[in-house]
Amino acid sequence: MPRTAYVNGRYVPHGHAQVGIEDRGYQFADGVYDVVPVVKGAFIDEDWHWERLERGLAELRIDQPVNRKTLSMIAHRIAQRNMIENGIVYVQVTRGEAPRDHKFPTKPVPPALVVTGRHLTMPDDFSQARMIDVITGPDLRWARPDIKSISLLPNVLAKQAAAEAGAYESWLVNANNEITEGSSANAWIVHRDPESGRVILRTHQSDQAILKGIVRTALVALAEKHQWAIEEQPFTVEELMSADEAFQSSSGNMIRPVRTVDGRTIGSGEPGPVVQEILNAFADYVSAQSG
């Protein structure tokens, strides 16, 4: 079945979708995006995705092209028209089309809205996740990765470096030798406090250094129910290498346990008991929304 896209008020064949050559997203990467996972026809954590998109637009001073209710309707219609049972809906908003000038347009222009969808293979059971190999590399992104900007060139280069190394993901390292996050996921380690013996999940705090992932947000929300101890603070590369377990979270791939980092095995090299507990809890969480 031919794919359908939504572009600035019209549903069009995906292959014929177009925006103007002077759209500021094309010229300057002047825009934001979000990706909503679809599982068994249900949008997972939809409102959190719209909230993050709206926050990014506000930070960049781009008007919302439509209200949230209308955007949700468009996104669901794209999923339906493309018969997406499992996959993603991609939403992108740019400042719009205007003569090329670094400054904002002097005359009001409508923001550009593009919505597309595609099928993805989803596991039947989210408690069973494929392990991944990770490399580390320098965090070369701009100073505001908390905004889900369409300017992703450093992420692209980091992801390509991982692929060329035979790995799945790059975890990014700042000037203090701390892991910020992955090129397309939030990074986590599991360690045991040497004094109390408590098992602790650690991930970088939600500030301007990372994108506040939606699955990350869900895990923090689940922590109280499942009595997980979470520390939101950076961890170093050395702490990562000595961690009992490690995993990453993202809307595109949910939760992925880490097997190796830079070729060194983390823990036993198999999904550990804590990550497996997290996988089980998150599988129940997704099932509650998708039926």
Is residue 247 within 8 A of residue 236, CB to CB? The reply is no
Told to judge if 40 belongs to the known catalytic residues of this protein, a careful annotator would answer: no
Residues 40, 103, 148, 212: which is the catalytic one?
148
Q: Under 8 Å CB-to-CB from 4, ≥6 apart: which residues? A: 11, 12, 13, 14, 78, 81, 82
Select from 251, 262, 255 the least CA-distant residue to 161.
Answer: 262
Is residue 180 within 8 A of residue 173, CB to CB? The reply is yes
Strands 186-192 and 178-182, bridge-based pairing = unpaired
Is residue 192 within 8 A of residue 243, CB to CB? The reply is no
Using CB atoms within 10 Å of the CB of residue 1, give its burial: 0 to 12 exposed, 13 to 18 middle, 19+ buried: exposed
Q: Which two tokens stand for residue 142?
A: 């701009």
Question: How many other CB atoms sit within 10 Å of the CB of residue 59?
Answer: 15
Question: How many other CB atoms sit within 10 Å of the CB of residue 79?
Answer: 21
- Distance (Å, rounded) from C-alpha 254 to C-alpha 84? 18
Is residue 167 within 8 A of residue 224, CB to CB? The reply is no
- Distance (Å, rounded) from C-alpha 186 to C-alpha 57? 22
Residues labelled catalytic: 148
